[in-house]
Chains A and B, each alone.
Chain A
Amino acid sequence: MTPAGSLLAAHDLRKAYGSTPALDGASFSVHPGEVVAVLGPSGSGKSTLLHCLAGIVVPDSGTLTYAGRDLSGMSDAERSSLRRGDFGFVFQFGQLVPELTCLENVALPLRLNGVKRKQAARTALEWLERLEVDDTAAKRPGEVSGGQGQRVAVARALVASPKVVFADEPTGALDSLNGERVMELLTESARSAGTAVVLVTHEARVAAYSDRDIVVRDGRVRDPEFAV
């Protein structure tokens, strides 16, 4: 059932919160280096799909494979390890640790992977430069603008060279100009690094940065890759 060559694939995922179904037979796949936008109205189950794909939430049923491994059968520790090593994340807001400087925030995934502090700081600074926010290195998140903060978040998502970046409404809290710049930097950096991006958004303008898009409606996903 898994589409050929896919890096991450989900089939017939179901997930309910109490009696409310969030996912109702969703299928999805992404290939290495591919940018896929997940579109849908508010409350359609986009974020739940992203959380399931990233191993943050365990689906109630369905299959989920990453690089040929069954993700849904992994323990919490194994999934955490996978998120540390292979995945990166960008959220809409509230994602940077307020007490750490921007540089330390970007270095965080590397530190979690056991990289020494100085080495992690060097790599983090390179990414801040690539994302054009190296002037924020010594500042705390509360001292930078929303656009700068989101670029710092993108740098943090990419710093550990993940295979997949999950971005949940990454421009939702930004004005259009800043939002477009963030998207440009995210997709360019991901493509140059060969990183796949799963981009959850409800804006067609943001989805335009993707290679292909799928639509989630009432917890169901129409992914052409799964079409027989």
Chain B
Amino acid sequence: MTWLRDLGIGMRFAAAGGREGWARTALTAVGVGLGVAMLLVASSVPHLLDQRSERDRARKEAPVSRATEDVPKSDSTVLRVSAATEYRGLAVEGFLMRAEGARPVLPPGVAAFPESGEMAASPALRDLLASSEGALLRERLPYRVTSTIADAGLRSPGELYFYAGSDSLTPATGGHRLAGYGDERGGEPLQPVLVVLVILICVVLLAPVAIFIATAVRFGGDRRDRRLAALRLVGADIRTTRRIAAGEALFGSVLGLLTGAVLFLVGRRFVGRVEVWGHSAFPSDLTPSVWPATLIGVGVPSAAVLVTLVAMRAVVVEPLGVVRGGGSHRRRLWWRLPMPVVGLAVLVLTGRVDEFTPVDPYPIAVGAVLVLVGLALLLPWLVGACVDRLHGGPLPWQLAVRRLQLNSGAASRAVSGITVAVAGAVALQMLFAAVGDEFEQITGQDPSRAQFHTFSETVSGDAATRTIEAFRSTRGVEAVIGTVETYVTRPGKYGKDEVAPTTTLSVGDCATLKELAEIGSCEEGDSFVVHPRGDKEASDWIDETARKGEEIELNPTRDWLPGAKSVRWILPADTRTVTAAPDPLGEERRGIMTTVGAIDPRTLPSARTTAQIKVDEGVEDVSEYVRNTAARIDPGMRVATLASTERERQYASVQTGLRLGAVAMLILIAASMLISQLEQLRERKRLLSVLVAFGTRRVTLGWSVLWQTAVPVAVGLLAATAGGLGLGAVLTWMMGKTVTQWWLFLPMAGAGAVLVVAVTLLSLPLLWRAMRPDGLRTE
């Protein structure tokens, strides 16, 4: 009962402490509220991802219709082909569709099947096409928007998505028969490397939020301690004062919890309008999961009470005032040091993570948390040890250093957020650099030779040739590594179970062929037999068809299409045999290569085109010109950007998450430091007025404030850099990679410096106000 009574008194103090009391409670509530809102957003991420992938699966084709030959044409079947493209760096996804009957199945979110020349578009795509910004995209998607895709058919509100009707789509021109929508199978699991990255990102981003909340519940602590001293004077014992303080903290944190919930609910309504790096979400997607939300509801007030009680251990509240123990008691290293060391040990003992074995996330998370939180605990000792050794210097420096020597606790607390965040970000970036190199090695693509890759089954050599010419004459295109290709066989009679020797014939100009094989000199009319590097078996198989001075069958359809005419060509006897070289995609082409002078590609009975396009990136919208050309030739033609594979997209989305989180985290830390600084200035109003009375210059005190922020931040950044490099090195080792970039801490160190300057500049107005003579008035 006594407990409850004292807690109640504390809550009453917080609720009815006059203007000052309310200001303090409001400050705590806003601080805790911001942190709680961020935690609620974080706890909504699983639901958000689930909802997104559920909608994504709902619009995928049903597995039953995967194999076209198994899906009979019916009244409800649909032919469709992907017409996905990109526009100014944004992905535009969509399909060309043709109904095969009167009652075609409809994708989710679409009310009516689009007729030929019509399109159902997402709201974002509809708006883009209607704006001047979308002029070049209108050329590519020249369909009339007749309906809007509803939320159920979209991954996120900002998604650019469409379904366009076509009357020329057939299975022969790439149309794929579909009987229904909805793929119930789970998505592709994240790769082990990415699991580790995601764990680290969560730890790195949420740790500063926790530290921010811990800082917020201590706002106005000095004033509270004085109030408690007054209570001691009227007979309250130390335990009572602690319980009263706990009651105040409880009230502030519960109010913060409510503020956070309100901020979250209000912010959620606007989330659809916010798009950061191409990502957005529907308000209903942002729903916290039950367990994390419960944990936040219980954990935040409990943590607030705990932090207050721990903080009060450093002060002795006496009836005649408050004695701070912070200055006199030495911070001990022995219990702070083991935590990061144990964290590193846990990581090392977890061992290496390979490409494919599923990862147990817990030891990695525990290890990373121990290292990062251990650094945060180490920081107060480190700041104290450093500032104790600082002497002399100009007056502003002396004022700042002496202030820190007297009490560096508040500064250390604020900076510990930076330390955790920077150490984590340094480690993550090191890991990203190492893993990123690996990802590029996996793709093997070389964007310096060509930035785009297109492929189309154009069925005739004439059309294939025109495709290459169309790309060559596109604005901004510098070179096209384009070949017209067909399968060729060795003429002859073969039994039912025999396979005719077959290879690929690629026709291109000399410049193109030199990109694809190690051809020293090349003149129009030349031909080459191209062997793969180091594969004798495959080379022998090619030579079965590519016999110099002998005939080759250019129309392989002759073997299975009744009535197809044989087209023969003699491989010149002086044809040179050369070795293949990787193309910009990193792939080796092999078989027979000839120049246009040797075979006119327009005469090939069936062909396809592969074109790798190099553009002048200085030409504005050059990518859009290339894609518009492709769409003009064939709306279903895929234009892939080199180095843009599925795995890299996953990697890029994780990196985007890190960037988003890092920005939010830096703002939070800056806010935390600023509030601490402002609170300190308010506390020192009278002293500052006295210093002004002496004639102290504003600039002197301004510099003093700067140094007071800069010194702990510098120490924090040093600790963060050392810790981050250590953690990064261990994690990189765990991935079986080597550290490639040790300098990655520099941008974060720069961000820390910007933070110091920003906090100082933002606190100057209050400093100027505090330096007014009003502080000297006592009546």
What distance in Å separates the Cβ of A8 from its nearest Cβ neighbour in chain B?
A: 16
B694 contacts A98, CB within 8 Å? Answer: no
Choose the segment among A75-83, A174-182, A215-223 that binds chain B (4+ C-beta atoms closer than 8 Å): A75-83
Contact partner of A92 (CB less than 8 A), chosen from B403, B693, B778, is B778
B690 contacts A99, CB within 8 Å? Answer: no
Docked CA distance A104–B393 (Å): 13
> Which of chain B's residues has its CB closest to A52's CB?
B773
> Which of chain B's residues has its CB closest to A94's CB?
B686
B406 contacts A91, CB within 8 Å? Answer: no
Known: A91-B690, A99-B403, A112-B696. 16 other contacts (CB 8 A): A42-B779, A47-B779, A51-B773, A56-B773, A57-B773, A87-B695, A89-B690, A89-B694, A94-B690, A99-B402, A99-B405, A100-B399, A108-B395, A111-B395, A112-B694, A140-B327
What distance in Å separates the Cβ of B94 from its nearest Cβ neighbour in chain A?
A: 66
A80 contacts B695, CB within 8 Å? Answer: yes
Q: A43 interface residue, CB < 8 Å from B?
A: yes
Docked CA distance A47–B777 (Å): 7
Docked CA distance A54–B395 (Å): 23
B interface residues, Cβ below 8 angstroms from A:
327, 392, 395, 398-399, 402-403, 405-407, 686-687, 690-697, 700, 773, 776-779
What distance in Å separates the Cβ of A22 from its nearest Cβ neighbour in chain B?
A: 9
Q: A191 interface residue, CB < 8 Å from B?
A: no
The interface residues of chain B lying within 8 Å CB-to-CB of A42 are 779
What distance in Å separates the Cβ of A24 from its nearest Cβ neighbour in chain B?
A: 16
Docked CA distance A92–B693 (Å): 14
Most buried by B among A56, A109, A140, A168: A56
Docked CA distance A97–B777 (Å): 18
A108 contacts B694, CB within 8 Å? Answer: yes
The interface residues of chain B lying within 8 Å CB-to-CB of A43 are 779
Docked CA distance A109–B452 (Å): 71
Taking A99-B399, A100-B399 as contacts, is the C-beta distance between A51 and B695 under 8 angstroms? no
Taking A51-B776, A89-B690, A97-B687 as contacts, is the C-beta distance between A81 and B695 under 8 angstroms? yes
The interface residues of chain B lying within 8 Å CB-to-CB of A108 are 395, 694
Taking A43-B779, A47-B779 as contacts, is the C-beta distance between A89 and B406 under 8 angstroms? no
B693 contacts A104, CB within 8 Å? Answer: no
Docked CA distance A48–B398 (Å): 32
Top 5 closest pairs, chain A to chain B, by CB: A84-B695, A83-B695, A99-B402, A99-B406, A99-B403
> Which of chain A's residues has its CB closest to B392's CB?
A117
What distance in Å separates the Cβ of A67 from its nearest Cβ neighbour in chain B?
A: 16
The interface residues of chain A lying within 8 Å CB-to-CB of B405 are 99
Taking A47-B779, A85-B695, A117-B392 as contacts, is the C-beta distance between A104 and B406 under 8 angstroms? no
The interface residues of chain A lying within 8 Å CB-to-CB of B407 are 99
- Range of interface residues on chain A? 20 to 34
Q: A95 interface residue, CB < 8 Å from B?
A: yes
B695 contacts A100, CB within 8 Å? Answer: no
What distance in Å separates the Cβ of A163 from its nearest Cβ neighbour in chain B?
A: 13
Please, could you name 27 A-B residue pairs with CB atoms under 8 Å apart, sorted by A? A42-B779, A43-B779, A47-B776, A47-B778, A48-B777, A51-B773, A56-B692, A56-B773, A57-B773, A80-B696, A81-B695, A83-B693, A83-B694, A84-B694, A84-B696, A85-B695, A91-B776, A94-B686, A97-B399, A97-B402, A99-B403, A99-B407, A100-B398, A109-B694, A112-B700, A117-B392, A140-B327
What distance in Å separates the Cβ of A221 from its nearest Cβ neighbour in chain B?
A: 17
> Which of chain A's residues has its CB closest to B697's CB?
A80
The interface residues of chain A lying within 8 Å CB-to-CB of B399 are 97, 99-100
Docked CA distance A104–B690 (Å): 15
> Which of chain B's residues has its CB closest to A46's CB?
B779
A95 contacts B690, CB within 8 Å? Answer: yes
Interface readout for A93-122 with B: 1 if CB under 8 Å, 0 if not?
011011111001000110110000100000
The interface residues of chain B lying within 8 Å CB-to-CB of A57 are 773
> Which of chain A's residues has its CB closest to B403's CB?
A99
What distance in Å separates the Cβ of B280 from its nearest Cβ neighbour in chain A?
A: 49
Docked CA distance A43–B779 (Å): 6
What distance in Å separates the Cβ of B88 from its nearest Cβ neighbour in chain A?
A: 54
Docked CA distance A108–B398 (Å): 10
Interface residues of A in 186-217 (CB under 8 A from B): none
The interface residues of chain A lying within 8 Å CB-to-CB of B773 are 51, 56-57
The interface residues of chain A lying within 8 Å CB-to-CB of B778 are 47, 92
The interface residues of chain A lying within 8 Å CB-to-CB of B695 are 79-85, 87, 109, 112
Docked CA distance A81–B698 (Å): 12
What distance in Å separates the Cβ of A117 from its nearest Cβ neighbour in chain B?
A: 6
A95 contacts B779, CB within 8 Å? Answer: no
What distance in Å separates the Cβ of A10 from its nearest Cβ neighbour in chain B?
A: 16
> Which of chain A's residues has its CB closest to B404's CB?
A99
A54 contacts B691, CB within 8 Å? Answer: no
The interface residues of chain B lying within 8 Å CB-to-CB of A89 are 690, 693-694
Docked CA distance A185–B697 (Å): 29
B776 contacts A56, CB within 8 Å? Answer: yes
Docked CA distance A42–B407 (Å): 36
The interface residues of chain A lying within 8 Å CB-to-CB of B700 are 112
Most buried by A among B392, B405, B779: B779
The interface residues of chain A lying within 8 Å CB-to-CB of B686 are 94
The interface residues of chain B lying within 8 Å CB-to-CB of A80 are 692, 695-697
The interface residues of chain B lying within 8 Å CB-to-CB of A92 are 778
Docked CA distance A152–B405 (Å): 21
A100 contacts B776, CB within 8 Å? Answer: no
A97 contacts B694, CB within 8 Å? Answer: no
B687 contacts A100, CB within 8 Å? Answer: no
Docked CA distance A156–B660 (Å): 53
Docked CA distance A84–B697 (Å): 9
The interface residues of chain A lying within 8 Å CB-to-CB of B696 are 80, 84, 112
Docked CA distance A42–B696 (Å): 29
A112 contacts B406, CB within 8 Å? Answer: no
The interface residues of chain B lying within 8 Å CB-to-CB of A100 are 398-399, 402
Docked CA distance A48–B687 (Å): 18
Docked CA distance A168–B779 (Å): 12
The interface residues of chain B lying within 8 Å CB-to-CB of A84 are 694-696
